Amino acid sequence: MFRRTDAAVSPTALYTGTVWRRNGLSHPAFATTAGQALWASLAGPRHLASAIGAPDLDALLLARHHAIDTLLERAIEAGEVSQVVEIASGLSPRGWRFATRHPDLTYVETDLPDMARRKERILRDADLLRPGHRVRVLDAFATDGPDSLPALAEELDPTRGTAVITEGLINYFPMDHVRTLWDNVGTALRGFPRGLYLSDIHLDHSPGLTTAVSKALITVFVRGEVYLHFADEAEAVEALKASGFDHAQLLRPSSFESPTSDRRGVDRNLIIRASSGAA
């Protein structure tokens, strides 16, 4: 089975972790020398992208992060969600922030083995883990076995609304893996009274130089292929509904209030909100 390794994923975790830290979203414990070096090494490509009018990578990352935070916060405040599973959470501070803000929330961060161990060590060493906050190994594409999403779903309370988050993941994998992931998430969430899936996606609807440069920059950033699966929003929504969601929509980060929501190009990365049950 195709599987991006820990080594291949780690540059994205290091880079985004640095962006969160540089913009006041993270805890000092998440800071890494390697992440700062990677961020600095991409200064040239970032300036080139800016010069030709391509999206600002950091602004795009921040806009999507704030948008997902906003949607999750709304669901929690509305009483729709009290359990969260974040897949491939990397060095994201979201679990720490939400578990601190909502003491009754169950928040399970997941990743491949090396990253999961690293994340848990950071949280424990800095005394950042809260009673309902934990880190677990998970293979997002496994359909069975102890490290699969179905197995994790069985560990959760079936009476509580549950959210699954995949941030910055979808476009790094080919279509068959995206469908497997969405099938896993859609099936798992139907086991709860309310299910909410939050993610993000780049569509293949803007041909031209800026799109090509943006894709090239992201390819350098992730050190691997970038996949653009759908030509438009309707195709993506149809695929999500085929994976078991009752409702699905793609939202623009610019419609959410954040420090970078008005920056050029942030809407090239759309936010997925899909739900099952009454969510």
Tell me if 35 is assigned to some domain: yes
- Grade residue 65 by pLDDT with cuts at 50, 70 and 90: very high
Q: What is the mean pLDDT of residues 144-166?
A: 98
Tell me if 47 is assigned to some domain: yes
Tell me if 137 is assigned to some domain: yes
Name the domain count of the chain: 1
Give yes or no for residue 205 having a pLDDT over 60: yes
CA atoms within 13 A on the CB side of 104: 8
Tell me if 266 is assigned to some domain: yes
Model pLDDT for residues 20-54, shown as the tens digit of each residue: 899 999 999 998 888 888 888 888 777 777 777 66
29-to-13, 34, 93, 121 alpha-carbon distances in Å: 14, 14, 10, 10
- Going by C-alpha positions, the residue among 120, 116, 122 that lies closest to residue 147 is 116
Q: Helix-strand-coil percent breakdown of the chain, rounded to 5?
A: 50, 15, 35
Q: What is the mean pLDDT of residues 57-71?
A: 94
**pLDDT score, position 41:** 83
CATH of the domain at 60: 3.40.50.150
Q: What is the mean pLDDT of residues 250-259?
A: 91
Give yes or no for residue 55 having a pLDDT over 80: no
Dist CA 38 CA 218 (whole Å): 13
Tell me if 1 is assigned to some domain: no
- Where is average pLDDT lowest: 110-114, 164-168, 219-223, 245-249? 219-223
pTM flag (> 0.75): yes
Written as one letter, the residue type at 173 is F
**pLDDT score, position 3:** 47
Dist CA 153 CA 81 (whole Å): 14
Q: What is the mean pLDDT of the chain?
A: 89
Strand order from edge to edge, sheet including 162-166: 133-137, 106-111, 83-87, 162-166, 194-202, 269-277, 247-251
Residue span of the structural domain in which 239 resides: 6-277
**pLDDT score, position 259:** 77
